[in-house]
Amino acid sequence: MKMNGARIMLECLKKEGVDTIFGYPGGTVINIYDELFSFKEIRHILPRHEQAGTHAADGYARATGRVGVCLATSGPGATNTVTGIATAYMDSIPMVIITGQVPTPLIGNDAFQEVDIIGITRPCTKHSFLVRDVKDLALIMKKAFYIARTGRPGPVLVDLPKDVQIAQTEFVYPETVEIRSYKPTMGGHPRQVEKAMDMILDSRRPVMYVGGGAVLGNAAEELTALCRELLIPVTTTLMGLGSFPENDPNSLGMLGMHGSYCANMAMTTSDLIIAIGARFDDRVTGKLTTFAPHAKIIHVDVDPTSIKKNVRVDLPIVGDVRDVLIKMIKQADKLKDKVTAFKTALAPWHDDIAGWKEKHPIGYKNSTTIIKPQFVIQKLRELSDVDAIISTDVGQHQMWTAQFFQFNKPRTLLTSGGLGTMGFGLPAAMGAQVAFPGRQVITICGDGGVQMNIQEMATLVQNKLPVKIVILNNNFLGMVRQWQELFFDKRYSSTCMELPIDFVKLADAYGAKGFSTSKPSDVEKIIKQGFKENGPVIMEFKIAREEKVLPMVPAGAALNEMVLNA
């Protein structure tokens, strides 16, 4: 059947199982929107800003494990997606971004609303395509989804000129795709797995260091099974939270700049680190020359370029982390006697870890007169559903959430880790709520970040998306202020948000509910009240203004050089 390019693009999305796209119309995508008008198989969500639409598609992808899709017009519409694309790229989130482009004869002529979005996004996409012929469109879309979801996932951009959308051709969607230059290794080498198990069973102070790859690779079940079988302590990155239950006795919590004392001490004194889907980010390693000085390192990752990128590695295993973990479990089953002896030999190591947990637990001093943000996070955990999805913005509240919420299931924390994008939390929650209309979705924000995409309150209300927005308001850009307090003699340069915002009135202006308090005694009541509401709700908690996120590893310091009290 002959179709125009706009219709072919929608049929391609349908073939890929896409049920929702987040998009903003404009002149160069008007033909797509005309086709969308009668294309009922795909739900379209109109955000109030293209950046938010990209974050919403990202949140959808993180929560579901499926490819998120967003659509924007050319020029400023396309450039507004860049921050969202870079956010997804840094955190390896599978997305397809479709942008309109001026007609092919006008490309390069500085036409109205023309930008080279391929060139602009080349550093922050896994791949990008400019469609010059409608006959190539179906194959390009197939390739885009294949690249986005396989290997190390990531965002792929498809730039679609207006004349290609109008042109017609026969629609045939390929069943399979073959890309000669793209052959991701999925199966871990069996001999490398055997060597890894030998190294593990010879160690006496092992730590399983787990990153976002365990979540993206749907490997939480296998990871938990292996670690419980071998009794290996587990620490996760921010992106890895939820891949191993934090209520498990072998959980060390998060490591790194704002990680737990026991996690950072365990990494520093370990004799073997088994890295699973993690990239040894600078926020994790601290000072590289002092990182894990006594440890051999096994590094498992689907992306070979991540291995040995930041630290030396004694045993690399390239492959899908779930596949490698399954093979590790099978290998451990073959070595039952050695495994039994290994677990017995770990007793002193577990004693050391218990001592560190007892000596400096993650905690805070509560107050009856001023709201402590940690108290709010703990109350949210206590009162929320067991499978609630939490998104965060970026800043102090993000770290308090990581420290105190306790994530026990994968894909329940949506947060910008690599890029650290303020404004991410609200639209990401929107995407998750679209994906899971029956689940509780909560976004935890600061008063700075929430205002970067606050216009999406309108999208929530219009689409009846009952996202609960928790604002920890200290009238500061809190994380920068903390650094200014600790390292710049309290010179609070441009970090004080001096104009107080009435978030209750703001919620009302959008047709939502709003609650606010500065009293600790009201916290539980407001959370319960907010959770009872059927629609979107803003819950503002005016917190201690100069509260800090601790522990903290100062920039340039080693992991064991933590600021514990200040």
Catalytically annotated residues: 50, 112-113, 162, 479
- By residue count, the chain amounts to 566
- The residues near 543 (Cβ < 8 Å, ≥ 6 apart) are 370, 371, 372, 373, 376, 472, 473, 474
- Most distant pair of Cα atoms in the chain: their distance: 72
Which residue has 């593990």 as its token pair? 200
Spatial contact of 315 and 208, defined as CB atoms under 8 Å apart: no
Tokens standing for 402? 């990581």
Helices (DSSP H) in 234-372: which residue ranges? 261-269, 282-285, 321-334, 336-345, 347-359
Cα separation, 179 vs 175, in Å, equals 14
- The residues near 442 (Cβ < 8 Å, ≥ 6 apart) are 380, 384, 388, 389, 390, 391, 429, 467, 468, 469, 470
- The residues near 562 (Cβ < 8 Å, ≥ 6 apart) are 261, 264, 551, 552, 553
- Positive or negative, the CA dihedral 548, 553, 554, 560 is positive
Which residue has 């419980």 as its token pair? 228
Burial of 213 (C-beta count, 10 Å sphere; 0-12/13-18/19+): buried
Buried b (16+ CB within 10 A) or exposed e, 385-412: eeebbbbbbbbbbbbbbbbbbbbbebbb
Q: How many CB atoms lie within 10 A of CB 288?
A: 12
Whole-angstrom CA distances from 275 to 13, 200, 226, 543, 550 are: 36, 12, 14, 37, 25
Spatial contact of 30 and 7, defined as CB atoms under 8 Å apart: no
